[in-house]
Amino acid sequence: MKKKYIGAGTALIVTASILAGCGGNSSPEASSPAASQAPASASASASTGNDKPFAGQTITLVTANHPWSEAITPLLPEFEAATGIKVKVENYFEDQLTQKLTVQFTAGSETPDVFMYRPLQDGQLFFKNGWVAPLDDYAHKDADYDFADISASAVNTTTIDGKLAGIPIITERGVLYYRKDLLEQANIPVPKTMEELVEAAKKLHDPGAEMYGFVARGQRSPLVTQLASYIFSEGGDFITDGKASINTPEAVKAMTTYGNLLKDSGPPGVLNMSWPQAFGIFAQGKVAFLTDADSLYTNATDPEKSTVSDKVGFALFPAGAAGSRPVNVTAWALSINERSKNKDAAWELIQWATSKENVLKAQQKGNPGARTSVWDNPEATKSFPEELVPIIKESMQNGVGHDRPVVVSVGEARDAVGEVVMKVITGDKDVQGAADKANANLQAIIDKDSKK
């Protein structure tokens, strides 16, 4: 049910940064801080009681310079007209955004009121330091908001110590990209299991012809978010019952499979590859298989970026011993500054931005949201490859809500895990020994963080 606002005047400041984390399309240039003009006719979804109860207030929103902020910013005049809240927008690159937020929060700043952040990279730090306001009461206050419609695993990503720290706005899942033409020519079926993927990659690997069987992220830290789907599908995890668990048989098997795929069937230079390089060589038509985030699909399907745009297929992440268990995570979310003096008005903005109506509008521009009902709406999936949509929907049901160790010191933890895979890629035979050492390092990080 649509709700109306009466009154005018609250101002909210919004800040944006570039997406370059575990996935998602990134933009190299900062967005304009001024919201584009748009008709003041959109519905606002969260107000109760008097119309425009926050008229006259000014609040701040900080976002990433990301396709989502590019989609939602032009709609802000509609929100302002409906609520009387003034929204000020600032845009930053990803590293600048995290640095800015950290500095302001450490100083006890009351701004920004609302901010865009990476839950799996910054969420633990922000929450443990008391910088974010729990949103549980807000999310369940209005039945029309339909919080239950938001993917459970996406919400899991933004939940810390049982508290809702943010509302998901961008989600992504691990999927298998493949070359339809190459598989058809070689009479190879689309791999459904890890074993089938390994075998198919070997058959199609022909370095002499500059054709490689498989590619994925090989840099120590970036690879961890994609390795996660391999670990989960084998039945493992980074941390189990509060203890590091990357030296378990399940985790070791997964890291060995990932590393060997890159060592035996990958192109030269994989140790230096993050997602841009991996997608780049795939888009050049030199690779048969790629596993990475579904949110990056345009890098393979856009004719301006890919020489094989019409030959790309999508499949569920290959099943391991535990089945197909890809990551299904919230890459970006919105939260409220704990010190904000305008929390209720700030929630109005978040509820409006993450309503079914506006998630639909953002998703129509290629931003994968977290609402199940929107994914079920054909109008929301027209911009996505038809073959990819059912894979996304199924992965949302069986996916796992994190893609790296959930700790405060995320960078250190990712380096510890990634080191094991790098050992495999470079031919180290003692994978278990490397995993045991990395597990001890990860446990030390967990113990250190618990004392903060």
pLDDT of residue 65: 86
Mean pLDDT over 131-152 rounds to: 97
Dump pLDDT digits (tens) for 417-438. 999 999 999 999 999 999 999 9
Mean pLDDT over 276-296 rounds to: 97
> Helix or strand or coil: residue 381?
coil
pLDDT of residue 440: 98
Residue 379 pLDDT greater than 80, yes or no: yes
Percentage of residues of the chain with pLDDT beyond 70: 89
User: Strand 114-117 and strand 85-92: pairing?
Assistant: unpaired
Mean pLDDT over 381-408 rounds to: 94
pLDDT of residue 50: 67
How does residue 43 score in pLDDT terms, banded at 50, 70 and 90?
very low
Give the separation between CA 152 and CA 328, rounded to whole angstroms: 10
pLDDT of residue 285: 98
Contact 177, 290 (CB under 8 A): yes
Residue 45 pLDDT greater than 90, yes or no: no
How does residue 31 score in pLDDT terms, banded at 50, 70 and 90?
very low
How many angstroms separate the Cα of 310 from the Cα of each of 144, 181, 313, 380, 392?
Answer: 41, 10, 9, 22, 20
Q: What's the chain's average pLDDT?
A: 90
Mean pLDDT over 188-215 rounds to: 98
Mean pLDDT over 351-363 rounds to: 97
